[in-house]
Structure 1
Amino acid sequence: MLPRLPVGERVRDRRRRTGRTQAVLAGLCGITTDYLSQIERGLKTPSGDVLARLAAELQVPVGTLLGDTEPERPPETVSGSSRVVQALLQRHGLRKPTPAGELRARVEHAWKVWQTSPRRFTEAEALLPDLIRDVEGTVRALRTGNDAPVRREALRVAADLYGLLRSYYRRTGRPDLSLMVADRALRAAEDADDPLRLGAARWNLGHVLLSQPGSEQDAADVAMDAAHDLTALATPAATALRGALELVAVVAQARTRRPWAARERLAAAAVPLARQTGESNVHWTVFGPTNVMLHAVNVEMTDGDATEGLRLADRIDATQMPSRERQFTFGLEIARCYDLRRDDAAVLVHLLELEQLAPEDLQRSPLGRQLVTALLGRARPTYRPQATGLAQRLQLL
């Protein structure tokens, strides 16, 4: 039995130190605000799974929330994450515009790092602060200029950067900033009068809404409105974006316990579009037959049908996907399917593979940490050392 009041007090203290509201932390952990409030007041005892998610989002070992003594830590320094936050929130004075071509190359490089590097958080945090300042400074400097084409190109670059930042801030536990940059991407795309980037910006907004429990229908509405607006553009890029937007609605339907609707949308809308486009990465949305199949697995996992999810997963080769993040998500969903079947050896194998594929993603993944915590409670002696070692590397012990 977990201790009651001390756990709640420690959760509340850690939450306040991070500056998060109960609503934000509850949303990130997939629980209600009322449930979190009752935990903090000592009225509810969190399950092991919920405790693992809380610890992951508060960036402390589970033992800390259970009252283990913490080792002395050196004074905190400004982390990469906080420098990326500061670069976005601080207003910078007017500066000489950076050539749009140079900014375009830097943003595309940052996107490549974000989608392909196993250490993408560390590498992106080295690039983003200066990139944010230069892009925003350039857009501000060109605001009153007379060169409309140059200004439009700078706005396009800004929209692309904000799309990357949307993903970064969501993955680093700042849904408030993720929503902020999604809105900035929309405004930049609108000011640039770029329909494709406007569609990509609304795709990003849809993903922000998907990350907020209770906003799934809003996400689907945003995505479907954007997909409808793109039907007038008969280009391969527009078709790929429409497909990516359809997948937002698929996820929304799966999460609102409508798996039949999600399956129908996949078959009737997403699959035909994927056949038209083939594998694509228009505005870094990674749409194509492989991603459609990955979403089919997600639907079954969300519905709790591990057998069907694993059957579909056996037909997928995700190694050629341009996004390491999507590869990681796919592997995590397979691990979750095996967890549903209590096939602990398979869970461990896939978690260890994910640690090799994207160690920083596993460190930040609430579901990944939840799977490791649950595995520790059931691990057989033959593979307990490996499970314990993984938990220690994730600072869960």
Structure 2
Amino acid sequence: MAEAQSEARRIGEVIRQARVLQRRSQKNVAAALGYHQSKVSRLEAGRGAQDVHMLRKVARVLGIPPHHLGLGAAPDANPSNPETEDMHRRTFLAAGVAALAAPTTPAGAHQDLIQSLLPGPSPAATAPVPDPPEMRDHVAAARRLFSTCHYTQLERTLPGLIGQLRQAIGESPGSTDLSGLLATAYQTSASLLLKQSDHGNAWLAVGRAMAEAERSGDPVVLASSVRVHAHVLARDGHTAQAITLVRHTADQLTGAYDQRSPKYLAALGLLLLRGVTAASTGDDRSATQDFLTEAKEVARYVALDRPDAWANFSPTNVALHGVSAAVAFGDAGIALQTARPLMRRHIPVPERRAALWVESARAYSQQGRLADGYQALRIAESCAAQDIRRPAVRELVADMAARDRRRTLPELHHFSRRLGVPA
């Protein structure tokens, strides 16, 4: 623990010196990061220095070599070109326009998914388009693939599903039900792209989802699209805008919970949990607590806690977001205290089970307990192997391995190499 605290202070001093040499204020750097000034102040004081996502952003903004902050080499995400990188720094509209003008060109299933998000005539159907009830089943099946972390199969499934839905809407223009299903398919695409750290094309998917959600006129579908929109905003550092978007939308949906359908309540609850993520990422403790309190209230009336549910919102998911928020604030002890009861609870949704152990690994890493963090990651892998291979988790593994300078955990380094991210 003492060694971890000493390392945190060293990292804080590196950040402070880089900022001072560039004659930049804490407020200026915080604005570039999309955080409150207090976040930079805490980092320079040696608090919260185990938030590797934050440290990587600081390294980019201040031009600090990653290894000076104890970071490993960043694992490759999806191939991207300068236009895609530029989209990461744009607002919602500008990002969407850039994506349309210059889409990335990765190979295989990923390229097919991006192509299905682009405007233009719907691809000609090679078979009769299923009727709406069957299409609804197909969309539900795609959602299950996401919840069970079958990302490879989902990426192969979505282009055809989107094409069928667009074809069906072309044959039945004005169908609000089909627009709602297509919006959900686009939402799922955006969520998958975020898992892959392809933020530029996630913007594109969100734009399509919002347009179809508005056409559907369904408040549940619209709330779900807003939730994904807020997720992309927060991932791109626009946390204040994400919080405002969630707050405004949630205010339109709250009240009379005992008279609402489970779908309605689940959509509202998941939207509030997205507010928790955005607020904690933005170092806003007050807003984080407000969103958590409201989500707990909604969870009194609904619990959809299984992979085949329309949405997995439940008291368990609320508690999981409490763990994630504590990790974001650098409160590793609180995070682990909140996580321990969940570790003994059966969590039916594999994506949520994996999230619990990944967040626990982050908390252990913040405490310098690399062996415990490694064990948590192995449990997460047993829950959802494909989820462990997404860029954000591989980055965590690389940084943990980089911090084990004495090679006291050979199994951690073997795990890192197996994921293709040696320190």
Per the normalisation by structure 2, the TM-score is: 0.71
Determine the structure 2 residue equivalent to 1:134. Answer: 164
Determine the structure 1 residue equivalent to 2:418. Answer: 393
Q: CA deviation at 1:328?
A: 1.8
Give the 3-state SS of the residue equivalent to 1:55 in structure 2. Answer: coil
Q: 1:225 to 1:112 in 2, by over 3 A?
A: same
Superimposed CA distance per residue, residues 316-341 of structure 1 (whole angstroms, 9 cap, x where no aligned partner) = 14864453222222211100111111
Gaps of at least 5 residues in structure 2 are 1-32, 34-51, 81-104
Q: Percent identity?
A: 22
Per the normalisation by structure 1, the TM-score is: 0.76
Within the alignment, does 1:227 sit opposite 2:250 as a pair? yes
State how far apart, in whole Å, the 2-side matches of 1:175 and 1:345 are: 32
Determine the structure 2 residue equivalent to 1:101. Answer: 133
Bigger RCO (CA 8 Å, 6+ sep): 2
RMSD value, Cα: 3.2
Within the alignment, does 1:80 sit opposite 2:109 as a pair? yes
Q: CA deviation at 1:80?
A: 2.1
The residue correspondences of 1:3-42 to structure 2 (distance < 5 A) are 36=60, 39=63
State how far apart, in whole Å, the 1-side matches of 2:185 and 2:158 are: 9
State how far apart, in whole Å, the 2-side matches of 1:34 and 1:332 are: 22
State how far apart, in whole Å, the 2-side matches of 1:377 and 1:340 are: 11
Determine the structure 2 residue equivalent to 1:204. Answer: 228
Q: 1:37 to 1:272 in 2, by over 3 A?
A: closer
State how far apart, in whole Å, the 2-side matches of 1:331 and 1:55 are: 20
Q: Which residue identity is paired with 2:283?
A: R
Within the alignment, does 1:121 sit opposite 2:151 as a pair? yes
Q: Which residue identity is paired with 2:168?
A: T
Question: Do the aligned partners of 1:49 and 1:374 also contact (CA within 8 Å) in 2?
Answer: no
Q: 1:97 to 1:142 in 2, by over 3 A?
A: farther
Question: Do the aligned partners of 2:224 and 2:267 also contact (CA within 8 Å) in 1?
Answer: yes
Superimposed CA distance per residue, residues 176-202 of structure 1 (whole angstroms, 9 cap, x where no aligned partner) = 221222222222122122121111111
Question: Do the aligned partners of 2:73 and 2:398 also contact (CA within 8 Å) in 1?
Answer: no
State how far apart, in whole Å, the 1-side matches of 2:280 and 2:158 are: 34
Which range is displaced more, 272-281 or 355-364?
Answer: 272-281
Determine the structure 2 residue equivalent to 1:373. Answer: 399
State how far apart, in whole Å, the 2-side matches of 1:337 and 1:33 are: 19
Gaps of at least 5 residues in structure 1 are 1-22, 61-75
Superimposed CA distance per residue, residues 338-357 of structure 1 (whole angstroms, 9 cap, x where no aligned partner) = 11111121111111122222
Determine the structure 2 residue equivalent to 1:20. Answer: none
Question: Do the aligned partners of 2:354 and 2:381 also contact (CA within 8 Å) in 1?
Answer: no
Superimposed CA distance per residue, residues 7-54 of structure 1 (whole angstroms, 9 cap, x where no aligned partner) = xxxxxxxxxxxxxxxx9xxxx965788953875xxxx42237786463
The residue correspondences of 1:180-329 to structure 2 (distance < 5 A) are 180-213=204-237, 215-231=238-254, 234-237=259-262, 238-267=264-293, 269-279=294-304, 284-317=310-343, 320-329=346-355
Moved over 6 A (4+): 31-34
State how far apart, in whole Å, the 2-side matches of 1:362 and 1:330 are: 12
Question: Do the aligned partners of 2:250 and 2:271 also contact (CA within 8 Å) in 1?
Answer: yes
Superimposed CA distance per residue, residues 274-312 of structure 1 (whole angstroms, 9 cap, x where no aligned partner) = 122234579854222111111111121111111111111
Which range is displaced more, 122-131 or 314-323?
Answer: 314-323
Q: CA deviation at 1:390?
A: 0.7
Q: Which residue identity is paired with 1:107?
A: V
Q: 1:368 to 1:284 in 2, by over 3 A?
A: farther
Question: Do the aligned partners of 1:344 and 1:379 also contact (CA within 8 Å) in 2?
Answer: no
Determine the structure 1 residue equivalent to 2:75. Answer: 55
Question: Do the aligned partners of 2:59 and 2:65 also contact (CA within 8 Å) in 1?
Answer: no
Give the 3-state SS of the residue equivalent to 2:312 in structure 1. Answer: coil
Q: Which residue identity is paired with 1:169?
A: L
Count of matched residue pairs: 341
Q: CA deviation at 1:222?
A: 1.5
